[in-house]
Amino acid sequence: MTASARGLGVQLAPPGSEPAGLGRFGEYGGRFVPETLVPALEELEREFRSAWSSEEFRAELAGLLASYAGRPTPVTECHRLSERLGVRVLLKREDLTHTGSHKINNVLGQALLTRRMGKQRVIAETGAGQHGVATATAAALFGLECLVFMGAVDVERQALNVFRMRLLGAEVVPVESGSATLKDAINEALRDWVATVETTHYCIGSVVGPHPYPWMVREFQRVVGDEAREQCRALLGGTDPDVVLACVGGGSNAIGTFAGFIDLPGVRLVGVEAGGRGLESGQHGSSVSRGVPGVLHGARSLFLQDEHGQILEAHSISAGLDYPGVGPEHAELAAAGRAEYANATDEEALEGFELLARTEGIVPALEPAHAIAWLAREAGRSIPKGATVLVTLSGRGDKDAEQVAERLGYDSFR
């Protein structure tokens, strides 16, 4: 079953494999929430199943993705970067969507579901601000009330996106508790949802949280990988890339990309997490590499924890990777050996940021700059010379410009 946007070029692939039972990916996933939220999650699962099997719903979403979000996004060949690294580099350009990142794909789907459920208010959490901007954008488009929770630290380092959200009519609530970053914003969003569940839809921005969110968000984001697979085959004469690479925080852009290639055993899947100040420093966001199984925000997955099971604070120069866990499907892909998870440090991400800008004239967000940095480090090592690598450029770097300028010592930003 496919749905197209009335000749506008967007194709939504058939639904992918769904998790077992109550959202289980192997030993991970599930639904660990207060009883007050169970009816809302059951309603959301029913509505999503019904919508995702509806030609009308999928055609409407495909139309929005084409005419409003700007899909399909292109795959760009990076000639100068490829020459420098000795591997063929292709970029899946999610930075070219409306709002500047992949987040709009998921949010438009959830906004349609919100309307379908008859709710008039949406809440969201955001780290780097891109999901908050996308949610505020969809709320303006559909006439919904919108409240966005954002860690106070992220409010400061992502001031441009805070302004954009407020301009779009959303209320932005700085969260001062804990580390005042993404984890704490999710905590506050969940508290709000418990109190307002009858009238409010919680628009989660990544493949985290209780079932059906990890599955549902993956399905809304799989358009990235499905497009990329066909585009790569057209560009590569019918063959597939050797390596598919994406940054991983909660993991929505990566799982959306991997969805298009996961059934191809010859394609190496690599997710790059935040190495922060180095894994040995304890100040990082590498949940797959250093996390242990636990439950947070309604699901079982891999989380950074101490010996008593207390969640540790994550660190990353990029607000979107500053989360102490990973989506449950990523945890299962790692356990099964189908995907591997590496990391890049803050300093390496800054180098990746500059490298792509200076070789290709493309300024990435700090999140995918981690993937570029890892590629630069591994080209000619674990990635053989001459290999073809597809990198999902999950967002553009406007939001990070002031932060990066300060870190790199530029004195003429203002």
In this prediction, residue 8 carries a pLDDT of: 47
Please, which residues have CB within 8 angstroms of residue 343's CB and are 6 or more apart in sequence? 272, 273, 274, 275, 279, 284, 286, 289, 370, 374
What does the pLDDT profile of the chain (414 residues) look like in tens digits?
A: 333 333 345 878 777 789 998 999 999 999 999 999 999 999 999 999 999 999 999 999 999 999 999 999 999 999 999 999 999 999 999 999 999 999 999 999 999 999 999 999 999 999 889 999 999 999 999 999 999 999 999 998 888 999 999 999 999 999 999 888 889 999 999 999 999 999 999 999 999 999 999 999 999 999 999 999 999 999 999 999 999 999 999 999 999 999 999 999 999 999 999 999 999 999 999 999 999 999 999 999 999 999 999 999 999 999 899 999 999 999 999 999 999 999 999 999 999 999 999 999 999 999 999 999 999 999 999 999 999 999 999 999 999 998 999 998 887 666
Please name the helix (run of DSSP H) or strand (run of DSSP E) that holds residue 200, with its range, or none. strand 200-202
Tens of pLDDT, residues 59-86: 999 999 999 999 999 999 999 999 999 9
CATH architecture label of 75-100+223-408 = 3-Layer(aba) Sandwich (3.40)
Structure tokens at 154: 């992220």
With beta carbons less than 8 A apart as the criterion, state whether 206 and 249 touch. yes
Active-site residue, from 79, 98, 102, 211 = 102
Q: Distance (Å, rounded) from C-alpha 156 to C-alpha 144?
A: 26
Structure tokens at 192: 């709000």
ω before 74 within 30° of 0 (cis)?
no
297 catalytic per annotation: no
For the chain, the average pLDDT equals: 94
pTM of the entire predicted model: 0.95
232 catalytic per annotation: no
Sole residue written with tokens 């660990």? 32
Rounded to the nearest angstrom, the gap between the alpha carbon of residue 310 and the centroid of all alpha carbons in its chain is 25
Q: Distance (Å, rounded) from C-alpha 138 to C-alpha 144?
A: 8
Q: Distance (Å, rounded) from C-alpha 196 to C-alpha 100?
A: 30
15 by Cβ neighbours in 10 Å (0-12 / 13-18 / 19+) ranks as middle
Structure tokens at 302: 């891999």
